[in-house]
Amino acid sequence: MMFKRPEIWHLKYLFPAVLVLFLSFTIAAVAVAAGSQAHLKGRFGLLHDWPVVPIAMMLMPDGRVVAYGTDTVGTQIGNLLYVTWDPTLGIGSNAFETLPNTTLTDIYCAGQAHLPDGRGLFFGGDAFLNTKRQYAHDNVNIFDSSTDTLTHLPQNMTFKRWYATAVTLPNGQHAVMGGRNSRDFPGTRTIPATVATYSPTPEVRAKNGRWRTLSSATSDAAYGALGSTGEEAWFYPRAWVNPQGKLFILGHNGAMYQLNTSGTGTLSKYLSTIAPGLNSLPSIMYAPGRILSIRDNRTAFVVNINGNGEPVVTSGGTLAKNRQYSNATVLANGFVWVNGGSSTGNDLVGAALDSELWNPNTRVWKSTARAATPRLYHSTSLLLPDGSVITGGGGTPGPLTQLNGEIYYPPYLFKKDGSGQFSPRPVIVDAPTTMISWNQQFSIEATESIFRVTLVRIGATTHAFNNETRFFNLSTPQKGNNIVTVKTPVSARVAPPGFYMLFVWNIDGTPSVAKIVQIG
């Protein structure tokens, strides 16, 4: 599928009143209902149906979203369905396509990441054993958005993994860590007898599909057991490539590690620690080498990993509410939006409908728009090329089976006069259409003067963790011109190879619809 022309998206925001007459359930139609607080708090669109519970979402290079998690009634099944959604078609049923899983593998709660060419990789997932689910398997699957097909690859992982984390490395390979490879069978810890309940050894997938075990980097503490239970660390370990090219791991228990993936691997523990958290709380890289981590008791911290020494941990402010099972999304302007969650876990008692926005410059949180329905365990949120955020899912299990989604429109999309109308947007008319390299200059042309350029890596999100997203402010020395020259991030250590959303901003602080560019 070809990427939709940006002019089409632009018309949606220039003429929303006209589009309401013809596209009653489109994104543009929803925006007309925005209130006077939209320029301060943003606004949610209409609650709309999804064919499955979107437990996992990935943005693809063609601007569509691929999501998976359940069947069409919200039930976990072995060969679960997956769905593609084209945001340019709105939120009606014609915007979604439900596709069968023909690989005979279950990717429920799999690890996921993008290949440098934009295809999606799924690592492991659920397995059915002894009449019980939530074991694991070692299969690797690939989703190709150019053909909308899911394919089982011939080279399996060394270890079975369920709830694993996959990280795209600077060389285009992938490190996979954590995940549980078994569960305790009711009544005994010896069935299956020879399999541990977690996967404490990471491994690396080469670009040709072959696997290399990091046998000298095994650690129960980093991505295996904590104490004797192992119930925290194997759950989607929070990990990113640091600016030195190694992996930084932020433990749910507050410990921090560095993993060198060369050879058989080297793992070292930092002396510094951070406040303990929960595996249901989000952490996200919001700027090069800077991570915002939400911990217990509404507290947030910034972890700076740009230096060669110990990580530097500073305050990230205090949220208004406890938000277990919430999601954090880096917006097109570098702010972080957190939505959903509950103070009482995966139940409705303490569920938060309002959302919160974090300013990285002031590190202050403010309350933003209120959603129509709770988003708890198995919910997701993902930045879209038009600068809005799709948030959906929740349940399986949960108090609500959420076969639905809502779109959040951040404050930067609205006129600042309190009218609740969308602000006119600049349109990118020229940007790179072929792969560009790191530290490379390139030109952008827009329909009006450009005052800012930002870059956001396309996301892959599940279980309160978007492991792929990264944000960059690109220096714009020629700002104020319709044509500006900018430079890509300096290296693959800060911007792993793959696809990025390129936004330009006008003098009013309104972004364009992104052009998706490839860096590699």
Residues 373-389 have pLDDT tens digits of: 999 999 999 999 999 99
Query: Would the pTM of this model clear 0.85, i.e. be above it?
Result: yes
Residues pairing with 516 in the sheet: 501
Residues pairing with 494 in the sheet: none
Share of the chain above pLDDT 90, in %: 76
Rounded Cα gap, residues 307 and 272, in angstroms: 13
Minimum mean pLDDT range among 49-58, 68-77, 422-431: 68-77
Average model confidence (pLDDT) for the chain? Answer: 88
- pLDDT at position 100, please? 84
Share of the chain above pLDDT 70, in %: 88
Q: Quote the tokens at residue 317.
A: 């402010």
Q: What is the pLDDT of residues 277-335, one digit of tens each?
A: 888 999 999 999 999 999 988 999 999 999 999 999 999 999 999 999 999 999 999 99
Asked if residue 11 has pLDDT above 50, the reply is no
Would you place residue 78 in the very low, low, confident or very high pLDDT band (cuts 50, 70, 90)? low
- pLDDT at position 48, please? 98
290-294 and 299-304 strand pairing: antiparallel
Radius of gyration of the chain (CA): 22
The residue with greater pLDDT, 454 or 277, is 454
Contact call for residues 258 and 242 (beta carbons, < 8 A): yes
Contact call for residues 161 and 113 (beta carbons, < 8 A): no
- pLDDT at position 232, please? 58
Q: What is the pLDDT of residues 55-77, one digit of tens each?
A: 999 999 999 999 998 888 888 77
Q: Which residues contact 479 (CB under 8 A, 6 or more apart)?
A: 449, 450, 451, 452
Asked if residue 228 has pLDDT above 70, the reply is no
Distance of CA 471 to the CA centre of its chain: 12
Collapsing DSSP to helix, strand or coil, 435 comes out as: coil
Residues pairing with 336 in the sheet: 330, 358
Chain position carrying tokens 């409705």? 348
